[in-house]
Amino acid sequence: MYLGLKEMWHEKLRYGLLSGVLLLIALVVFMLSGLANGLSVGNRQAVDQWRAKTVYLNKNANQSLAASQLKISDQTTVSGTHAPLANLSGTLRTTTNKLKTSASAFGTSRDSFIMPKVIKGHRINGKDQLLISAGLLDKGYHLGQKVRIGTTTHSVKIVGTYQTSTYSIAPTVYTDTSTLNRLKGSPITSGKDQPINAIVAKNSQFKSSDHDNLERLSITTFVSSLPGYSAEQLTLNTMIYFLFVMALAVIGIFMFVLTLQKSALFGVLKVQGIGTRHIIGALLSQSIAMALIGIGLGLAITIGLAQIMPAGLPFVIDWNAFGIYSVALLAAAVIGALLSWRTVANIDPAVAIG
Amino acid sequence: MTNPVLKLDAITKQFGSGHTAVTALTDANFEVNAGEFVAIIGPSGSGKSTFLTIAAGLQTPTSGQVYLNGQPLTHQSERQRLAYRFNDVGFILQASNLIPFLTVREQFKLVDKLAKRPFQKEKTEKLLAELALSDVQNAYPNQLSGGERQRVAIARALYNDPSVILADEPTASLDTPRSIDVVKRLADEAHHHNKAIVMVTHDQRLISHCDVVYRIEDGHLARTETTKA
């Protein structure tokens, strides 16, 4: 370790440059991780806030909420705590059309477990009332405002807000099932035949094997079937995994070239009884030190950038992922240094004499 | 009659086999006692380097046996021979064997780090003073003159209190006055610290400072008349 770190100190430029390359790799890893997590949150935040375990969809809907059509009365086929869910993706706009925002509207029964907890205003206690995600307040929406969703002329009144929530990268709004059906322009807006898109449940099973048109999905399956979700995550995560390979290759090649350059010195060391183990130890301490510098600065810069990022960028820091990726980068550096083991072991000390 | 510190007994070393076989050393016998400064002198290609690599345990002889303090070396494991070179042998190599990115002082610190013991500051300073190196102890090897570098190498070789010091053409890159200085110091260290020092060289001028001189030619090693009483 002494040998390795002293050499780094003496050759600051050389090792500084490689630390810089590792910094760039770490930075990209952390940025991609933040983006992947941001997109993931943007897609699924509302679903996570339901704290549900199961979603029932129409079995012909190909696991897609928007494509699924059920009726309120379908709830009788399932057990446990459950709630109806009607969904409408549309433009949230004020009656004067002054503000326009894409939003995901959900309708559920007024007292259902997925109806969000109001932090300002009041719960839905009458027809044509709407709760909006706190995030929408920043865009100019406020309590008491009359708004429309989609192309309808039917207007509803904002009566409360709840903790920021998004679904399919759009802020959510909640209302009761009947109001949502009115907004949708559905012919049936009351009673057991009202259309809904899904049944969301906690611990729940089918009551009997006779559930002809329903399909039971775990919440994990439901989330991974969200439109674009899996494709986005897979793309970004593949890029991250590829960067680990790059980190390994960069360290491995650099250490190998340096080992070749220093083989005469290593021969002299071996003559003096300083063996392969000590030399590899020096290489390891160098690559670990460079990885720690790169990862540390990469983290610091990522956190700094996160402060000044435009609000529209879906970037959310996931400390668990950052921890795992830091360890993975460190592991890549260790493996990269160990790749020179054979080369070091094969240096013949006899060449240092004569 | 003391036991020799390092003894080579009927060493033969062949490279290759069959028609292409080259014999680098033939039936070489050699011994050096504590406090003795021995020179091995011979032209290039005479087998000097082979002699050193075998004495250092870097190569195994085709036949014969190397003894250090009476213990045979030839059949030891790689790891044992590594420890032997670290603990029992000091090396002074042709070009400097100093580590370019360590200061003079740090060269000694490294030895202690590898031996897992605290830095022997006083011992370092005493050795450096003895070799007139106190002023350059914070310099890097490339900031030293050739003579200074070889003096640091002598100090480094002595630092671990080895039984024997092997010097491979220690004066190769030095002019005459500096060569004489280095050799004188080696002789002093041998007598003063009671070390066995073996110096391989092709430089005839240096042998007047040695206690025993061996000549080597075409792989044949022979002890010559001692030049000093």
Q: Which chain A residues are within 8 Å of B91, Cβ to Cβ?
A: 271-272
* Interface touch A353/B53, C-beta < 8 Å: yes
CB atoms within 10 A of CB A1: 14
Residue A354's pLDDT is 65
Question: B1 pLDDT exceeds 60?
Answer: no
Distance CA B92, CA B111 (A): 15
Q: Which of A270, A271, A273 sits opposite B83 (nearest CB)?
A: A273
Task: Quickly count helices (H) and strands (E) in chain B.
Answer: 6, 10
Mean pLDDT for A226-241 is: 93
User: B85-115, pLDDT tens digit by residue?
Assistant: 898 999 998 776 899 999 999 999 999 999 9
Distance CA A3, CA A286 (A): 9
Question: B147 pLDDT exceeds 90?
Answer: no
Q: Which chain B residues are within 8 Å of A269, Cβ to Cβ?
A: 99
* Interface touch B49/A353, C-beta < 8 Å: yes
Residue A299's pLDDT is 96
Closest residue in B to A7 (Cα) is: B101
Q: What is the dihedral of CA B57, B61, B63, B64, to 10 degrees?
A: -30
Task: Please state the pTM of the whole predicted model.
Answer: 0.84
B116 reaches A (C-beta below 8 A): no
Nearest-CA neighbor of A77 among A205, A196, A218? Answer: A205
Percent share of chain B, pLDDT over 70: 96
Residue B146's pLDDT is 87
Mean pLDDT for B176-192 is: 89
Question: B225 pLDDT exceeds 80?
Answer: no
SS3 at position B112: helix
The pairing of strands A146-149 and A118-121 is unpaired
Q: Shortest Cα distance from A262 to chain B (angstroms)?
A: 11
Cβ B107 vs Cβ B98: under 8 Å? yes
Cβ B137 vs Cβ B103: under 8 Å? yes
Question: B228 pLDDT exceeds 60?
Answer: no
* Interface touch B53/A354, C-beta < 8 Å: yes
Q: What are phi and psi of A55, to 5 degrees?
A: -130, 130
Q: Which chain A residues are within 8 Å of B94, Cβ to Cβ?
A: 353-354
DSSP string, A218-286: EHHHHHHTSTTHHHHHHHHHHHHHHHHHHHHHHHHHHHHHHHHHTHHHHHHHHHTT--HHHHHHHHHHH
Question: B140 pLDDT exceeds 90?
Answer: yes
The DSSP code for A78 is: B
Find the range with the poorest average confidence among A3-7, A176-180, A207-211, A286-290. A207-211
User: A67-125, pLDDT tens digit by residue?
Assistant: 999 999 999 999 999 999 999 999 999 988 889 999 999 999 999 999 999 999 999 99
User: A284-294, pLDDT tens digit by residue?
Assistant: 999 999 999 99
Distance CA B217, CA B210 (A): 19
Domains (range + CATH), chain B: 33-60+75-223 (3.40.50.300)
Mean pLDDT for A208-231 is: 91
Distance CA A162, CA B75 (A): 80
Residue A141's pLDDT is 95
Residue B229's pLDDT is 42
Cα→Cα distances A233→A165, A169, B142, Å: 20, 14, 54
Distance CA A250, CA A78 (A): 56
Residue B78's pLDDT is 83
Q: Which of A7, A269, A273 sits opposite B101 (nearest CB)?
A: A7
B171 reaches A (C-beta below 8 A): no
Question: What integer best gives the mean pLDDT of chain B?
Answer: 88
CB atoms within 10 A of CB A313: 12
Structure tokens at B203: 């430089």
User: A244-303, pLDDT tens digit by residue?
Assistant: 999 999 999 999 999 999 999 999 999 988 989 999 999 999 999 999 999 999 999 999
Its ipTM equals 0.89
The pairing of strands B212-217 and B37-41 is parallel
* Interface touch A268/B101, C-beta < 8 Å: no
Q: What are phi and psi of B218, to 5 degrees?
A: 50, 40
User: A297-341, pLDDT tens digit by residue?
Assistant: 999 999 999 999 887 788 999 999 999 999 999 999 999 999 999
User: B3-59, pLDDT tens digit by residue?
Assistant: 889 999 999 998 888 888 888 899 999 999 999 999 999 888 888 889 999 998 888
Residue A1's pLDDT is 81
User: B161-178, pLDDT tens digit by residue?
Assistant: 898 999 998 888 788 888
Largest Cα–Cα distance in chain B? 57
CA atoms within 13 A on the CB side of A264: 11
Residue A37's pLDDT is 94
Chain A residues contacting B via beta carbons under 8 Å: 2-3, 6-7, 9-11, 265, 268-275, 278, 349-350, 352-354
Q: Which of A2, A273, A354 sits opposite B86 (nearest CB)?
A: A273
* Interface touch A10/B140, C-beta < 8 Å: yes
Question: A151 pLDDT exceeds 90?
Answer: no
Q: Shortest Cα distance from B219 to chain A (angstroms)?
A: 15
Mean pLDDT for A145-157 is: 92
User: A9-64, pLDDT tens digit by residue?
Assistant: 999 999 999 999 999 999 999 999 999 999 999 999 999 999 999 999 999 999 99
Residue B206's pLDDT is 85
